[in-house]
Amino acid sequence: MKTKIIITGGTGYIGSHTAVALLESGYEVVLIDNLCNSSINTVGNIYSITGLRPKMEIVDLCSKKECDEVFNKHGDAIGIIHFAALKAVGESVQKPLRYYQNNLTALMNTLDSAVKNKINNFIFSSSATVYGQPEKVPISEQEKTKRPFSPYGNSKKIGEEIMEDLTLVNKELSIISLRYFNPIGAHKSGFLGELPTGTPNNLMPYITQTAIGLRDKLFVFGNDYPTKDGTPIRDYVHVLDLADAHLKALERILNGQNESPMEVFNIGSGKGYSVLDVIYAFERVSGQKLPYEITTRREGDVPELISSADLANEKLGWRATRGLEEMVASAWEWEKKLR
Ligand code: NAD
Ligand code: UD1
């Protein structure tokens, strides 16, 4: 009998890549998603890669009734990877209640169903945004969290606090919160990648959509930061490395290797690249010039975010293995296949 794992938000960008990693490692996988930001076609695409079809449950986790029903049905699962959330930072500033309501209600309903069904192993998608503007880089997990500037980011910080409170009273639970830095890239098959709705907010899809001709040019948000070339520095991590981090985190708690009921790990490459570095890497791998214009800073951007990924390496045995050019090339292949 295979071990059953539930992946919420499983048809999304990171969830689908993680589903592939789990299926390829021999797990039975159940995807739960309401498809508000993803497509049902993802299930077929996962099958095309793995030859295995995950079970798919179309459920809004904000509905307590639907959530209870689906977890009762899959109460024999032994772990949950919780990706389901809304993630558009700018939209969350405009619609704070929608973000708090969706992200926190879905999390609390999922945790409640997990506890009721004694599914005691839980991995949570957090974000480097919980560090706000850090005091120093690289950022270790010891760095104090700060109130993120956006409701989206704050829903991650509050989510971590809710889980911490829960582990204090529910001694059976083991939780790992993974704080992702900047996930980019796509599956090498070209079957899975990021599908932004509307105009992308993030750098990588904006670059590939510009190069394919959907956008006139990329706007570089400021070149007056205190960095080597004036543009902000980020820690980009390949989505396949990220998927692997989830597998390793899951195995840590399934094997009882966790050292406390709630552990937190940074998931980044530990390397920083500026916006111009990413543009130049794109030009090298695609062999084409990218039209761009330097414009004013974007509100809320910080000069530099780089992870210390040492703890993940020491405790999970995980390290990012794919470099910037590989990440950018896979994102470009995905964009070309989409059009
Ligand atoms: P995504 O939008 O591609 O995937 C999220 C999935 O959750 C979507 O398929 C969506 O339909 C589903 N969903 C949302 N609300 C739901 C609900 N109430 N019930 C059921 N399904 C619901 O996003 P992603 O990039 O794959 O991100 C996955 C997780 O990682 C999210 O929690 C996100 O906040 C977090 N994260 C993402 C990034 C990033 O850059 N992509 C960075 C840090 C953290
Ligand atoms: C953003 C979110 C962060 C979230 C992460 C993943 C903000 C302020 N932060 O991180 O909370 O966890 O996405 O979803 O929105 N850039 C441009 N032009 C563009 C787009 C981006 O110059 O059109 C620059 C930005 O200024 C930034 C870098 O590229 O310096 C990376 O931006 P982005 O991909 O949006 O990620 P973050 O801002 O780091």
Q: What is the pLDDT of residue 159?
A: 98
User: Which residue's CA is minimally distant from atom 28 of ligand 1?
Assistant: 83
Q: What is the pLDDT of residue 36?
A: 96
CA angle 229, 219, 266 (to 5 degrees): 65
Sorted by sequence, the CB contacts under 8 Å of residue 257 that are 6+ apart come out as none
Q: What is the pLDDT of residue 86?
A: 98
Calculate how far, in angstroms, residue 323's C-alpha sits from the geometric centre of ligand 1.
24
pLDDT at 35 over 80: yes
Among 142, 179, 150, smallest CA distance to 163 is for: 179
Q: What is the mean pLDDT of the chain?
A: 97
**Which numbered ligand comes closest to the C-alpha of 209?**
2
Rounded to 10 deg, the angle between the 151-169 and 96-116 helix axes is 20
Overall average pLDDT of the 46-55 stretch = 98
Q: 13, 99, 131, 152: which one is catalytic? A: 152
Q: What is the pLDDT of residue 135?
A: 86
Extract the tokens encoding 297.
């800073």
Overall average pLDDT of the 80-84 stretch = 99
pLDDT at 1 over 80: no
| 267 beta partners | 180
pLDDT in tens, 221-244: 999 999 999 999 999 999 999 999
197 pLDDT tier (thresholds 50, 70, 90): confident
Q: What is the pLDDT of residue 173?
A: 98
With beta carbons less than 8 A apart as the criterion, state whether 306 and 271 touch.
yes
Q: What distance in Å separates the CA atoms of residue 19 and residue 12, rounded to the nearest whole number? A: 10
Q: Please give the residue that has the higher pLDDT: either 90 or 59.
A: 59
pLDDT at 133 over 90: no
Overall average pLDDT of the 18-31 stretch = 98
pLDDT in tens, 260-287: 999 999 999 999 999 999 999 999 999 9
Query: Taking the model in full, what pTM does it have?
Result: 0.98
Look up residue 98 and give its amino acid: R
Cα Dmax for the chain: 57
Q: What distance in Å separates the CA atoms of residue 85 and residue 36, rounded to the nearest whole number? A: 10
Q: Please state, for a pLDDT cut of 70, what percent of the chain lies above it.
A: 100
Ligand 1 pocket, mutate which of 33, 56, 269 (most atoms under 8 A from CB): 33
Q: Judging by DSSP bridges, how do beta strands 79-82 and 236-238 pair with one another? A: unpaired
Q: What is the pLDDT of residue 196?
A: 87
Q: Judging by DSSP bridges, how do beta strands 182-184 and 233-234 pair with one another? A: unpaired
Q: If one looks up domain 4-183+236-268+307-315 in CATH, what number appears?
A: 3.40.50.720
Annotation says 152 is catalytic: yes
Q: What is the pLDDT of residue 21?
A: 98
Is the shortest distance between the CB of 99 and ligand 2 below 6 Å? no
Among 199, 198, 200, 203, smallest CA distance to 183 is for: 203
pLDDT in tens, 297-320: 998 899 999 999 999 999 999 999
Report which secondary-structure segment, H or E, holds 146: none
pLDDT at 171 over 80: yes
Q: What distance in Å separates the CA atoms of residue 46 and residue 54, rounded to the nearest whole number? A: 8
Look up residue 154 and give its amino acid: N
Q: Please state, for a pLDDT cut of 90, what percent of the chain lies above it.
A: 95
User: Which residue's CA is minimally distant from atom 31 of ligand 2?
Assistant: 203
Extract the tokens encoding 128.
């480097």
Q: What is the pLDDT of residue 2?
A: 82
334 pLDDT tier (thresholds 50, 70, 90): very high
Among 224, 240, 329, smallest CA distance to 287 is for: 329
